[in-house]
Amino acid sequence: MGGILLPAEPLFKPGLQDVVALETTISFLDTESERILIKGFDLIELSHEVGYVEMIHLLLNETLPDSTQTENVNQRLRDANGIPEEVWSILSLLPKATHPMDAQRTALSVLSGFDQDLNDRSVETNVHRAYQLLAQLPELTANSYHLLKGKQRIRSDKSLSYSANFLYLLTGKVPSKLEERIFDLSLLLYSEHELPNSTFAARVIASTLSDMYGALTGAVSSLKGQLHGGANEAVMNLLLEVGSPERFVELLREKLMNKEKIMGFGHRVYAKKMDPRALIMKRALMDLSEHQGDDRFLRMCEAGESFMEKEKGLYPNLDYYAAPVYYMLDIPIALYTPIFFCSRTAGLAAHVIEQHNHNRLFRPRVHYTGTPYSSI
């Protein structure tokens, strides 16, 4: 008998849970072995041996650098073009209530107009473009915030290391060696993490053969969302809302009873395991607390960690311990997620380059749940 052959029921995964969307040589969250692989290296092991500048080289040039190559990376970052004055003029016109991430997004879009090789998608040009952005973003991020607050811009100090200068731009103070090391560590831990929403957004945009600025603008828009990058701000605001470990646990209990989402806990990939990056940042918070003689945030975080494990079987992610670390480094809360984006730019650029080199346009389908067809 004849008739209409209906398609098989589509395999629908809400939020693309566990769907493999692409092949990559950049990174992999190996949950079975509890490793975060970056170009074949364990991120946690790397965090004990190298800094963020070496990570930039690994992501953009495929290998860990020797001392000469590391200095070459530092020199490329120091020698990169500065910010055109026209960009500052545009940023100065933004309403004072503008969120720093919106200012960051705007600055990225404006920068594209000054790239004379904008339509060149070659590896060499894209790598050069990535170094330019990595050099420009700390100054753009910090000073767009200062402008929004009605303050003067802070000029980069090229005598400082990349991370020390970044922290100096944020706070106006030259950091101690311990502060520099901890901030550099945070940049390294945030630098790359397989395929979260922002990286996927960047690759989807890059798959149309759009330029790196467009892809990163999409990524920063994604990262602004509280369910992705905004968690570190939410965590710090929670900690500041209370004054003791006991009160913090009470607040968490209240939120659980009200079925509210608690930021800083749980992760789509790690699920019932602790984000290994969070443990590294927890140790950094211990060092900073001892150095400053103030362990109130450490005690609060540890109390919250124990409570959430016992009550919900949930563990901290990186944002949970990064938030108080940034606060103790005197970084304004509104800049926590923009900093996340700055550090992730190394990984994002690597993904855009890989997408351009092995491209296939993303065009998924849907599971239609609307009204069935009926004739007129």
Note whether 332 and 148 are within 8 A (CB). Answer: no
Residue 146: active-site member: no
Count of beta carbons in the 10 Å neighbourhood of residue 210: 18
Alpha helices in the chain (DSSP H): 43-49, 52-61, 67-79, 85-92, 100-112, 123-148, 162-171, 177-190, 197-206, 212-223, 231-241, 245-257, 276-292, 296-312, 318-328, 336-357
Task: Please compute, for residue 151, the number of CA atoms within 13 A of its CA located in the half-sphere on the CB side.
Answer: 13
91-112: b (≥16 Cβ within 10 Å) or e:
beebeeebbbbbbbbbbbebbe
Tokens of 136: 């420009």
Residue 228: active-site member: yes
Residue in 102, 211, 275, 319 annotated catalytic: 319
Residue in 42, 128, 228, 287 annotated catalytic: 228
Q: Kindly state the helix (H) or strand (E) to which residue 27 belongs, with its residue range.
A: strand 27-30
Residue 358: active-site member: no
Residue in 267, 275, 351, 356 annotated catalytic: 267
Q: What are phi and psi of 37, to 5 degrees?
A: -90, 130
Tokens of 217: 């603008």
Please identify every residue annotated as catalytic: 228, 267, 319
